[in-house]
Chain A
Amino acid sequence: MSQFAVQFQNVTRWYGQVVALRDVTLNFQGGVVGLLGQNGAGKTTFLRILTGSMRPSKGVALVFGAHAFGNPDLYRRIGYCPDHDNFFEFMTGREFVETLLGIHGFAGPERARRASAALDRVKAAEFADRKIYGYSKGMRQRLKLAQALSHDPELLILDEPLNGADPIIRRDVIDLVKALGREGRSVIISSHVLHEVEAMTPHLLLLHKGRVMAAGEVREIRGMIDRHPHSVRLRTPRGRDLAAVLARDPRVTELHIGEGVVTVRTPQPDAFYAALPQVLLDAGLPVHEIESPDDNLDAVFRYLTEG
């Protein structure tokens, strides 16, 4: 039996002229891993090959040592939460999970027991007996997770489970993924938002234009990012006053003033963030919002590809 949960050997997948994955080779031992990539990076293709929905155009994709495509026995051990929000809308949430358990091959009371357990686990029990067409985005996310968990899989594949999720669901999903990791399950979770994945696992796999750009721990990738100047955007009604204060900060290398917005660039983001609250308090300047455009994945890839 293979020691790896997932092995990709020179996996390539193309759609006509478009190459979605290029010569991807990787081994994934288990645990929780974040799959990061911009839209169109090949994340969903990667995950669909893992779930056996799609066969590679070239190369070999093995999950638990077995070929992923056309291997129904393997799918007993995999749970998949797709990124889209389409369901059998006429069903209740409970019927949906029970139906998929039935397709899985579970019958009778076992099906009902597993559905209830999965719905409880994702905190979907209270609305599980309502029709799906009335569900909010968050309820749908919970339901997708419930069906993925219901057969107790060893490997969970979650495609953008935090997309459009409100803060409560976000927290619940993050807690759930951490708990699944502690239980010894392998989880591959895709996202295009770095800090979301960072909250669940330090282990990352970065895809860019169908290639594995980097694989490792968050701090290594952060280190790569932090070697480059970092942008911080502050929204304030007193832009000129704030710019005057920040211009005196030695950590700031560039400064732009816009309509109610001051953007600075700094090569020492950690030190800058640590000092910023005190600087603002001392100056008595109101700041309504602080954001870092560089925290998003675009910036990560820009750094990696340009660096």
Chain B
Amino acid sequence: MVSPATAPPPPPAAPTSPITGLITAAHLSFRQFLQGPRKWLLLLAGSVFPALLSVFVFLEPKGMNHPFLQLFDQLYLQGAILFIALLGAVPAFSSDVEDGTIVYLYCRPTPRAFIVVGKWLGCIVPLALITMIPVLAAWPLALKQVQPYETTTWVADPSGTAVPRGEDGAVDDDSGERRPGMREGSPGKFVTMTRPSHRAPAQPRELFAALFASAAGAVLYGTLFFSLGAILGRPYLIAMAYAVIVEATIGRLEIKLYVLSRFVRTAALRSLDPVPRFFEGSLEFLPPAWLGWTGIFVFPLVFLGAAAAFSTWKSYIGKGV
């Protein structure tokens, strides 16, 4: 037994609030988010979307098949936001574990789960805001797509006679021209109908949907990567980056991540009425709206809960053990 002489013990420590601890952890995380090269990488990743959109608008001022929505969905929502979330969220907690600074936080009376949630809040809020900046920057470019891209389709006139077989489709009764794309035996003769293939995304509702989808995507992906970083640690950032870049490029991981993005797309798209025509085809493959909304809220909670539980249960094994 080690028993040196002792003086009377000092008075008990003052009471403290774990909520203050959580808020301070969030503030700390936010300040860390704004430090170092991370913010420049994030801005670079985010600038790809408006840059590419401006190229498309410049090359095809009348609009291709709706560059804004196409790029937003395929390049930004399923691509750039993924990288932004990866860069922004993984180090938010794992860098403290890696550097050893987490020990300053863990030896405090604020429960570890509160610290994890605080750190998450401090990185996920700016992350969501940052992902909205490129959308806002691209919106003026999208407004330039005011002239609808028109397509001419051939439809059968029900009052006409049956369409005879042609070599390359059906044959017009009147002109005798072959009309590709029409089925043999359709009733009536052909008439033409011109309609816009898309609607320019000029409505504020569509802007809000795009902003919402960006923020929701950032929260969903960001929470996934934050939690993975908290559980696995920062060295795995490289492995994860490899997985996302290489595997997603060749299309394996993309399928898994696409599941997450579907929740965001579902909730965002189904909140629009009418849905932009570009996405009309997607709707039949997307789950119902309630599932989209549920996914957006449930998945982050599950990821964050796993990170909080893990950090509470796990011993901190830092440097110099």
Binding site for B on A (CB under 8 A): 15, 20, 26-33, 44-45, 48, 51-55, 69-70, 72-78, 80, 82-84, 86-88, 90-91, 99-100, 102-107, 110, 147, 151-154, 181-186, 201-203, 205, 215-216
Q: Which residues of B contact A33 (CB under 8 A)?
A: 2, 4
Q: Which residues of B contact A48 (CB under 8 A)?
A: 103, 315-316, 318, 321
A105→B109 contact, CB < 8 A: yes
A30→B6 contact, CB < 8 A: yes
- Can you list 19 pairs linking A and B with CB atoms under 8 Å apart? A15-B317, A20-B321, A26-B2, A29-B1, A33-B4, A51-B106, A72-B109, A73-B109, A75-B109, A77-B12, A82-B104, A82-B318, A86-B99, A100-B105, A103-B21, A104-B110, A151-B14, A202-B4, A216-B2
Q: In the bound complex, what is the Cα–Cα distance between A21 and B109 (angstroms)? A: 26
Is B191 interfacial (CB 8 A cutoff)? no
For B13, give its contact among A72, A76, A103, A182 (CB under 8 Å): A76
A29→B25 contact, CB < 8 A: no
A28→B2 contact, CB < 8 A: yes
Q: In the bound complex, what is the Cα–Cα distance between A193 and B312 (angstroms)? A: 35
Q: In the bound complex, what is the Cα–Cα distance between A152 and B12 (angstroms)? A: 9
Is B101 interfacial (CB 8 A cutoff)? yes
Is B108 interfacial (CB 8 A cutoff)? yes
Q: In the bound complex, what is the Cα–Cα distance between A154 and B9 (angstroms)? A: 7
- Given known contacts A82-B103, A103-B21, A103-B108, is B4 in contact with A203 (CB within 8 Å)? yes
Q: What is the chain B residue whose CB lies nearest that of A180?
A: B10
Q: Which residues of A contact B109 (CB under 8 A)?
A: 72-76, 104-105
B110→A53 contact, CB < 8 A: no
Q: What are the nearest 10 A-B pairs in CB distance?
A: A105-B16, A102-B24, A31-B4, A184-B7, A30-B6, A54-B315, A29-B3, A76-B13, A53-B316, A203-B4
For A147, give its contact among B14, B32, B104, B320 (CB under 8 Å): B104
Q: In the bound complex, what is the Cα–Cα distance between A30 and B107 (angstroms)? A: 20
Chain B nearest CB from A154 CB (Å) reads 6
A185→B10 contact, CB < 8 A: yes
Q: Which residues of B contact A70 (CB under 8 A)?
A: 312
Is B193 interfacial (CB 8 A cutoff)? no
Chain A nearest CB from B27 CB (Å) reads 7
Q: Which residues of A contact B4 (CB under 8 A)?
A: 29-33, 181, 201-203
Q: In the bound complex, what is the Cα–Cα distance between A68 and B1 (angstroms)? A: 19
- Given known contacts A26-B1, A104-B21, is B13 in contact with A77 (CB within 8 Å)? yes
Q: In the bound complex, what is the Cα–Cα distance between A77 and B107 (angstroms)? A: 10
Q: Which residues of B contact A45 (CB under 8 A)?
A: 321
Q: Which residues of A contact B112 (CB under 8 A)?
A: 72
B110→A105 contact, CB < 8 A: yes
A31→B108 contact, CB < 8 A: no
Which chain B residues (16-46) contact chain A, with CB distance < 8 Å?
16-18, 20-21, 23-25, 27-28, 31-32, 35
For B317, give its contact among A54, A75, A103, A216 (CB under 8 Å): A54
Is B5 interfacial (CB 8 A cutoff)? yes
Is B115 interfacial (CB 8 A cutoff)? yes
Chain A nearest CB from B96 CB (Å) reads 9
Given contacts A45-B321, A82-B100, A102-B20, 19 further A-B contacts (CB under 8 A): A20-B321, A26-B1, A31-B6, A53-B316, A70-B312, A72-B109, A72-B112, A74-B109, A90-B31, A90-B32, A102-B24, A104-B110, A105-B15, A183-B7, A183-B10, A184-B10, A185-B9, A203-B2, A215-B1
A107→B3 contact, CB < 8 A: no
Q: In the bound complex, what is the Cα–Cα distance between A186 and B10 (angstroms)? A: 10
- Given known contacts A76-B16, A88-B32, A152-B14, is B2 in contact with A51 (CB within 8 Å)? no
Q: What is the chain A residue whose CB lies nearest that of B24?
A: A102
